[in-house]
Structure 1
Amino acid sequence: MNIDNPIIFFGTEDFSAVSLQRLIDDKFNIVGIVTKPDSKKGRGQKISMPKVKEIGIANNIEVLQPNRLKEIIPFVAKFNKPTGVLVSYGKIIPQSIIDLFNPGIINVHPSLLPLYRGPSPIESTILNGDTVTGVSIMLLSKEMDAGPVYLQEKITLSGTETSTYLYDSCGKIGSEMLAKALPKIIKGELEPINQCDDRASYCNLLTKEDSIINPNNITSYQAERKIRALEIYPKSKITICDNTIIIKKASITTNPNSKELSVKFKDNNYLVLEQLIAPNGKIMDGKAYKNGYINKMH
């Protein structure tokens, strides 16, 4: 669908790139991309550009990487009230910037708002063992994820999803919803409905402290969900025989095999560590780690 209305896209994370590429493929008029400055990533701390910047360069779209958002005001002013689209940008947008756009800035959020307002809705969904999640298309407001909602789509969960899987699923679904809804939003044919603030729940920015698993403090089920939820960042770490390892995959059992690497939790169940990252950085299965690093289970 060819939409002539100028659109400025805000996004930084890989989750953003799916929606940006879909809008470009559908011939929307993307006149600019606003993303965070390039940053150091990985063990080598190499300077890395956001994926949306790569897409912008490949499609000859101007890319802005402001340290302060007010730096984009002259660029936005050139287009006389463009439409804004924001997907996982990573900064709070002040009302003074939102007001530069018509009808405002449209946001893709991977939760069934007003549930999980905040920066980690996908991880929170898995951590809490939810059976349903979804994606919301909303009109951005200065309060975090509190704006009125245009439409939502539910996703039924099996209880085995990882954060990588859900980011991928929600990214694809969100991009399809956005591409279909945006023409109607721009034409004023789709009206958003206010959220019920009384039902709102919030999630926090994840930190490295969240990665620690203490078998004495949580159940095996909580630990297994944590491993799936924090798979991307900050990952799940456990200390066994004075060595800290990163757990990539685990399962719950009441009767562990002596050959497997298993840990007892406070609910008296065991977590079988099926795949992990050893202290030397190598990915290996639990049995190999037990044979190589541990002479005797404690």
Structure 2
Amino acid sequence: MLRPLWKMPKFLTGFIFLSGLLTISFLYEPLLKDGIETVSFLHIDGTTVGPPFTPLELPPLGSDRVGTPIWTYVVQGAKYTILLGLIISLLQIVLSLLFSIVMTRFSKGMVHVFEEIVESMIYIPMAVIAFMLLFPIRFVVDAEVEPAKYLMIQIFLLTIIGMPQIMVVLIKEIKKALQEEFVLSSKTLGARGWYLYRRHILKNLLPRIMLLFFQRNVSVLVLFAHLGFFGVLLGGGVEKEIMVGEPRLFSLSNEWAGNIGNARIEIMTGPWIIFAPLAALSLTVLAYNMMADSLQGVILGGNVSRKRKNRKNVKHDYPIMSGQVEKDQFTFKRDHTLNG
């Protein structure tokens, strides 16, 4: 069912963009990083100019306050931003699916209470909840824990935050699948437990789970951007002096959301500093949306074609339902007993 995706231009465009960006990002450290230098001063028309440099002064994207080329932030931070989004989205989907299967086996009242609680929290922005959990721990964790462990804590919290809403969606999908005729027939024939879910439920829900995975990637990336504006840096930060006696916190991993958040105060004096990571994040979200839109088209197209096929089979097997009567469909016999 998913093979037509590789023939759809929108899906291929999004896939090639993300794959190419990740490939360039992984090649940055071994091939490009050693040749990149921080530029302290430039001589332009006989005048010595200090950072930040505009895209015209230091092509292609200019530099930040310490003279680091902006394009290095975009390239180096791509793998951290995209991979973190993929990891968190995958963990959310897998864990939510497991908990949803368990929840469907509980009483209907307990499931209904859980759904009501989650749906009542939809009006609270996810970024606010994430900020309340992540911002306080940075003062304790940054000084005592390595950046890798700090990042693991952030991944864990961001995964837990997004699970309840996904569970509500999956619980409804599983309930709907359990009422399908082929599932009821399988249960009548003795299918139970993991076999029923693996053979029928999960197989039937796989396209929708994949669509939900692409949609979650978009939500997680948007959440990253919001956290960046709140000053929460994924993986921690490092202080650098932009002027003598004036330090500023920079993202340790150069992930895009942190760079966007750090550059928010430069929007008036150096808008190119925030534009580059913001454009990269926007294009990545667009790529995921294109892939999700293509997958949704395949799912809807598959449902329509299946309905047409079923309708065609019904018309072939039961011609009387179409209102057509064949010429020799009825045969009239004469009763000779009435004539004597």
Q: Please say whether Structure 1 and Structure 2 have the same fold, judged by a TM-score greater than 0.5.
A: no
**Structure of higher RCO (CA pairs closer than 8 Å, 6+ residues apart):** 2
Structure with the largest fraction of strand: 1
- CA radius of gyration, larger in: 2
Structure with the largest fraction of helix: 2
When the two structures are superposed, what TM-score results if normalisation uses the length of structure 1? Answer: 0.28
When the two structures are superposed, what TM-score results if normalisation uses the length of structure 2? Answer: 0.26
